[in-house]
């Protein structure tokens, strides 16, 4: 697919170390150029910002399987998900797929289908797609095969979760919503309950198993993160295993431990938009204000990174350069992608054009190619 050669003029452009200024931005051959390249597009009344790099999102689940049993065209679901990503200014997206005892859309077999679909479609799409595996730590039976499966999928980013309801299981109580969860996984509710109890009872073996698995993945160059760290001790333990990304720490103590240890901190953009966690965890807005955030991720809602960044500016928490860096340069750095996240000559022409008065996405370009365009701006590009 051919990238555009254009000079974008008249817009306010978010420039590194400068801020929002009215300046020409040129692009050709998929990268930002230092000098003019030819045809001008007047973007007066618009902002041009670096494209959003989404470090963790599972909003694609509804595209891949809109209804139970309606998941025979998973590749078409990836294509539909990419359209939503682009419409929300996302130019690089980490697609977070579960490998979980929950089964169904989060089970190992479905993970295999999803990763194959991403591999089959990613080169034909404009948005850069990165697969992430979310592994449930108490699936001890999967440890032996997991490194080979990860390699075969081409996955180089793994996050560790533990969603077992340990408090209730320790009391021998049935978890809330157990029946519905079991039926979605195609299991008998009683058998599902027994499985959860067995996994909880084997908790003592999990830590040793994780030591071996993380060491093997580290040798393979896999980037690793932990999800929902509840306290400082948990974060410290993960760091000792080489797991240097803290996804959505639940408490101030966990976030402070991540910062003191030099770990990367990812927070949920929906949490920031609401101003509070829906689970009662520490507020993302508070952590951003304290400097305890390196990136905001969509989590389950693709419009949220853009909305969160703009909300942080409107509420006076930080300026636009800092806020937008949490959804562009910050996440790019965590992923080791030095070629994007900023608007500078030589970098990828990944950018999003916002309406100045509303903050809505008008155009998204990834690698100098249009992935989304709507409204009056189309006339300006075509003229």
**DSSP letter (8 states) at residue 174:** P
First-to-final CA distance of the chain: 21
pLDDT value, residue 277: 63
pLDDT > 70 in the chain, percent: 97
Verify that 204 and 266 share a domain, yes or no.
Answer: yes
**Residue found under tokens 């089959």:** 120
Q: What residue numbers bound the domain in which 224 lies?
A: 51-341
Residues 21 and 71 in one domain: no
Both 277 and 371 in one domain: the answer is no
CA dist list (Å): 247 to 41, 56, 214: 39, 9, 16
Q: What is the pLDDT of residue 181?
A: 86
- The answer to whether the CB of 166 falls within 8 A of the CB of 203 is yes
Residues 270 and 381 reside in one and the same domain: no
pTM of the model: 0.95
Give the angle 347-89-134 at the CA atoms, nearest 5°.
90
Taking a C-beta distance cutoff of 8 angstroms, is the pair 265, 259 a contact?
yes
Q: Specify the number of domains making up the chain.
A: 2
* Domain containing residue 46: CATH number: 2.30.40.10
Instruction: Examine the domain organization and report whether 16 and 67 are in the same domain.
Output: no
pLDDT at 70 over 60: no
Residue with tokens 């009056």: 376
DSSP designation for 299 = B
Instruction: Identify whether residues 135 and 178 lie together within a single domain.
Output: yes
CA distance 86 to 93: 10
If asked whether residues 279 and 380 sit together in one domain, one would say no
CATH code of 325's domain:
3.20.20.140
- Residue with tokens 């996804």, as numbered in its chain: 247
pLDDT value for 276? 64
- Same structural domain for residues 232 and 243? yes
* Same domain as 279, residue 369: no
Q: Do 7 and 57 fall into the same domain?
A: no
Residue 18, phi-psi category: left (phi > 0), alpha (psi -120 to 50), beta (remainder)? alpha
Do the bridges between strand 46-50 and strand 12-15 make them parallel or antiparallel, or are there none, so unpaired? parallel
SS3 130: strand
DSSP 225: E
Please choose, from the candidates 64, 67, 175, 164, the residue with its C-alpha nearest in 3D space to the C-alpha of residue 121: 64
Indicate whether 37 and 88 sit together in one domain.
no
Please indicate, yes or no, whether residues 31 and 56 belong to a single structural domain of this protein: no
* Per-residue pLDDT reduced to its tens digit, 17-41: 999 999 999 999 999 999 999 899 9
Express each pLDDT in 359-371 by its tens digit. Answer: 999 999 999 999 9
Tokens 């974060």 label which residue?
235
| Rounded Cα gap, residues 126 and 3, in angstroms | 10
């Amino acid at each position: 697919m051919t990238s555009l050669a254009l000079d974008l003029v008249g817009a306010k452009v978010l420039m590194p170390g400068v801020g929002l200024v009215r300046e020409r931005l040129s692009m050709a051959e998929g990268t930002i150029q230092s000098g003019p390249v030819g045809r001008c597009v007047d973007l007066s009344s618009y902002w041009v910002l670096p494209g959003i790099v989404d470090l963790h999102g599972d909003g694609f689940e509804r595209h891949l399987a809109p209804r139970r049993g309606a998941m025979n065209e998973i590749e078409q679901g990836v294509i539909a998900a990419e359209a939503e990503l682009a419409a929300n200014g996302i130019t690089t997206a980490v697609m977070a797929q579960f490998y979980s005892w929950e089964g169904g859309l989060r089970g190992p077999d479905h993970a295999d289908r999803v990763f194959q679909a991403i591999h089959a479609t990613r080169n034909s799409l404009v948005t850069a797609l990165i697969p992430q595996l979310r592994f449930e730590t108490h699936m001890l039976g999967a440890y032996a095969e997991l490194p080979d499966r990860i390699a075969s999928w081409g996955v180089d980013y793994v996050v560790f979760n533990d969603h077992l309801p340990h408090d209730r299981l320790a009391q021998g109580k049935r978890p809330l919503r157990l029946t519905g969860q079991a039926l979605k996984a195609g299991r008998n509710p009683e058998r599902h309950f027994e499985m959860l109890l067995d996994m909880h009872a084997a908790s003592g073996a999990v830590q040793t198993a994780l030591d071996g698995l993380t060491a093997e993945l580290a040798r393979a160059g896999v980037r690793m993160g932990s999800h929902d760290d509840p306290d400082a001790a948990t974060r410290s333990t993960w760091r000792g295993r080489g797991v240097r990304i803290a996804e959505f720490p639940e408490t101030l103590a966990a976030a402070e431990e991540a910062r003191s240890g030099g770990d990367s901190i990812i927070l949920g953009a929906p949490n920031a938009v609401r101003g509070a966690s829906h689970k009662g965890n520490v507020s993302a807005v508070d952590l951003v204000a304290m400097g305890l955030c390196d990136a905001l991720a969509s989590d389950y809602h693709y419009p949220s990174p853009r909305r969160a960044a703009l909300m942080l500016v409107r509420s006076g928490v930080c300026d636009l350069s800092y806020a937008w860096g949490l959804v562009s340069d910050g996440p790019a750095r965590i992923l080791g992608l030095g070629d994007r996240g900023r608007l500078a000559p030589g970098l990828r022409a990944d950018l999003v054009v916002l309406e100045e008065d509303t903050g809505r996405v008008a155009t998204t370009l990834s690698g100098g190619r249009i992935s989304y365009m709507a409204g009056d701006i189309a006339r300006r590009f075509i003229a």
